[in-house]
Structure 1
Amino acid sequence: MLKKLKLDYRYIKELDFGILIGSIVVLLYGALNIYTVTRGKVGIYYLKLQLIWLVLGLVTTYIILLVDYTIIKKFTSIIYWGSVSMLLLTRIIGSTVNGAQGWISLGNRAIQPAEFAKLGMIMMLAKKLDEMDGNINDVKNFFTLCFYALIPMLLIVVQPDMGMAMVCFFIVLGIFFTMGLNIKVILGGIMGIASSIAILWNSKLMKAYWKRRLISFLSPESDALGAGLQATRSKIGIGSGGIVGTGMGLKTGSTSYVSQFVPEAHTDFIFAALGEQWGFVGAILLLFLYAIIIYRAINIARTSKDIFGSVICVGVVSVFLFSILQNIGMTVGIMPITGITLPLMSYGGSSVLTNYIAIGLILNIGMRRKKINF
């Protein structure tokens, strides 16, 4: 029994430690910043929880590495439809957080099914493209892929969780583009999405506060105590960090500006905390760590032994790239506020766990690129 739980040394030699160590360092960096903005109110509460999620994430990653990803592929349909069922369940028993009915309560904790649904969608698209031998420009194949992508996306839109819907859209865009979909079709799809957004904008699904949040980034100062409050105060916090940061959150008996005045500083606006504490140098360090993870994941996508593995890597890279650009963009006022978390940095169990599931899949694919003789 214990033998089955031991990873063969020959696989360990193929493991991409750059991705694994990089992800751990980013999460620990995030946990430290979470602590700086929450210690004044709850002490080490959120820090402790984030570290627990790190351990659970690493255990999950290890379990994934034990099983050849080609075996995991056989369970893709169950994973996909299971995640869709969870999204449907949120319509019945889901609790509302920040205006979106997208959480299922489990005792005093809650999970966000949309986080798992985006992984289920990536895996289903990867499986179908593998079965299609990558022939995405066949009309039947294209609409089959769109069908599987639209189901979770529509269920996420009606929550309404526009941030996660945007993430799913860029997952699909990234996969379709890298798989060689005709550029005219991609442009047509973008125009179709733009039209859908226009319709959605004027529908009852788009709440008034969502509209205010989405457009407030154009002029946050015009409503500095309302929709523009987070963006305005976030920029003040980041700007005060200068080159090397203030370090106020770590000094005994002191509290930082971001911890006092920026709402959701430990989740959506964790980059504001980083910018204030560590300044420009700290921000560059984070981007460097992300670059290592993304570059190495792209390399695994390029060298994967099958389409299924490549597409999973591309899908996960798309999640990371868009989430990083969107989250940092909204904290510095150049992107609308959508509630998208910063991967591995923001506090959140569902986010951390799904990120490590995704990392586990990438490492699994990279580990089994070569034929290993036993």
Structure 2
Amino acid sequence: MGKRWNDFLSEVSNHIHSKEAKKFVSSELEFHLNQVKKEWMGKGLSEVEAEEKAVSQMGSPSKLGHEMNKLHKPRIDWWLISLLGITMALSFLPLISVSEELGDNFMAKKVIHVIFGVVIAVTMMFMDYRKFEKKGWVFYSIGLVFLFLLITFPNRILNGSPYIFIGPFQFESYFALPFFFLSWASIFNNSRIKLWQHLILFVLPLLLLMAVPNLVVSFIYIVMVFVMMWWSAISRKAAAIITLTSIIAAGAFGALAWFTVKEYQLARILGFLDPEKYPKSWGYTYLQLKERLASAGWFGSAAKSEALPFEHTDYAFVNLTYHYGYLFAIGLFVILSLFAARIVMISFQINSRFGHLLLVGGVTLFLVQFIYNIGMMVGLLPLTSISLPFISYGFIPMLFNAFIMGVVLSVYRRKDLIFNRTV
């Protein structure tokens, strides 16, 4: 390239503050300069003359640099960051109401959880999500290896589920979900992968999750993959056939399981369907949650009640509703709903298909937790171990949801760094 060509690119870059945008703009300008240069050479000009014409046609490098700096600087979604700040602050409330039973140690741990969550979200925001697109197989392999190690070499078994402990931190099957989230966005963005290959890639993690066993994580994984599939390059007809076939298979499996269900499992199902018949066994918790919600009132109940298990974790929503009232519960519901609404709004601004798949997967992971937790708190869904995003106490759930929002912030940050090249 000639001196004027290089000087032009250098001067434009000098007016762009972001290093990431600087590299991006330089690459795109060079691409367009080469396109214009080829056009002039096609009209009979020499290479040197064509370069001069191409550079002249671009106009003032100073003016262009200022325009590119405004247009392509990385963005920060302050709306989403504000929601993160609000919910992380509110996440201390469930502990305050049960502080006498738990002690100050849990509050100190919660501070650590929030700090780690903030670090994860900020770190992911500054990482370029586009680098993940070619590493889908790496993330997929990490997820499989982790599940295999969890099943084969657990440090401890708690409530029937295996855990791996590293220092003060404990890791369960939940930890594999972020890796499968990133991997499936990459897999679905790869048009060379056949449908039968998608099926194999889907089944392998599911078999490991069922072997853990963790039905909650399995459920979240299934919903995430199927929703992302509908937004992928797979045809709607193929997606419909796969979905319908899976629903039929799940129905058949459920019918078979019903006839082989164990007595305690049947009792849990009946306790959910008709808790009044089992007030001292499997229906007890459902009745207690119902009573808490009924006695909360618009501004909360001042009456001292016996603490329920999981009031600071899975049952945090009922805990907060009981102590702070229906108005607070409605406000909390709105705040958490705004996360999903904001991600959907961002998705309309994204031109990258990979980025769009990440947003679809991210909002699905968030909504599955949010909707199911609220649903089981009001008696519409069976009780299980699904946390209320950001509000429930727990290290891995906090990191998991902070990771999701960090990926969303990363996609938003680079929404203006995508060009649609035409050759």
Contact kept in structure 1, 2:125 and 2:408, CA below 8 Å: no
Distance 1:145 1:239 in 2: 47
1:290 paired to 2:332:
no
Distance 1:12 1:225 in 2: 61
Task: Encode CA deviations 1:169-208: one digit per residue, 9 max, x unaligned.
Answer: 21122212334633343222212122233345556xx765
Q: Aligned residue for 1:193?
A: 250
Query: What is the percent sequence identity of the aligned residues?
Result: 23
Q: Aligned residue for 2:216?
A: 163
Q: Shift of residue 372 of structure 1?
A: 8.4
Q: Aligned residue for 2:320?
A: 274
Which of 169, 174, 177 is the aligned partner of 1:118?
Answer: 177
Larger relative contact order (Cα-Cα within 8 Å, sequence gap ≥ 6): 1
Counterpart AA for 2:181: I
Q: Shift of residue 218 of structure 1?
A: 0.8
Q: Aligned residue for 1:331?
A: 377
Contact kept in structure 1, 2:117 and 2:398, CA below 8 Å: yes
TM-score (norm 2): 0.75
Which of 46, 63, 88 is the aligned partner of 2:148?
Answer: 88
Contact kept in structure 1, 2:296 and 2:322, CA below 8 Å: yes
Contact kept in structure 2, 1:233 and 1:261, CA below 8 Å: no
Distance 1:283 1:144 in 2: 44
Q: Aligned residue for 1:75?
A: 135
1:213 paired to 2:272:
no
Cα distance 1:210–1:40, how it changes in 2: closer, same or farther (>3 A)? farther
TM-score (norm 1): 0.85
Task: Encode CA deviations 1:54-113: one digit per residue, 9 max, x unaligned.
Answer: 111111222222221111333332222112211111112322222223x2122443112x
1:231 paired to 2:286:
yes
1:307 paired to 2:353:
yes
Q: Aligned residue for 1:240?
A: 295
Contact kept in structure 1, 2:151 and 2:211, CA below 8 Å: no
Distance 1:172 1:319 in 2: 10
Q: Aligned residue for 1:46?
A: 106
Q: What secondary structure does 1:110 align onto?
A: strand
Contact kept in structure 2, 1:125 and 1:145, CA below 8 Å: no
Q: Shift of residue 141 of structure 1?
A: 2.9
Counterpart AA for 2:245: G
Q: Aligned residue for 2:196?
A: 143
Q: What secondary structure does 1:165 align onto?
A: helix
Cα distance 1:188–1:372, how it changes in 2: closer, same or farther (>3 A)? closer
Q: What is the number of equivalent residue pairs in this alignment? A: 349
Q: What secondary structure does 1:14 align onto?
A: coil
Distance 2:133 2:104 in 1: 40
1:57 paired to 2:110:
no
Task: Encode CA deviations 1:243-293: one digit per residue, 9 max, x unaligned.
Answer: 121256xxxxxxx42xx3421111111111011012211111111111211
Q: CA RMSD in A?
A: 2.7
Counterpart AA for 2:206: M
Cα distance 1:361–1:237, how it changes in 2: closer, same or farther (>3 A)? same
Task: Encode CA deviations 1:210-263: one digit per residue, 9 max, x unaligned.
Answer: 443344221122222222222211111122111121256xxxxxxx42xx3421
1:154 paired to 2:207:
yes
Q: Shift of residue 310 of structure 1?
A: 1.1
Q: What secondary structure does 1:246 align onto?
A: coil
Q: What secondary structure does 1:131 align onto?
A: coil
Distance 1:73 1:50 in 2: 33
Counterpart AA for 1:144: Q
Task: Encode CA deviations 1:274-315: one digit per residue, 9 max, x unaligned.
Answer: 110122111111111112111111122333232211111111
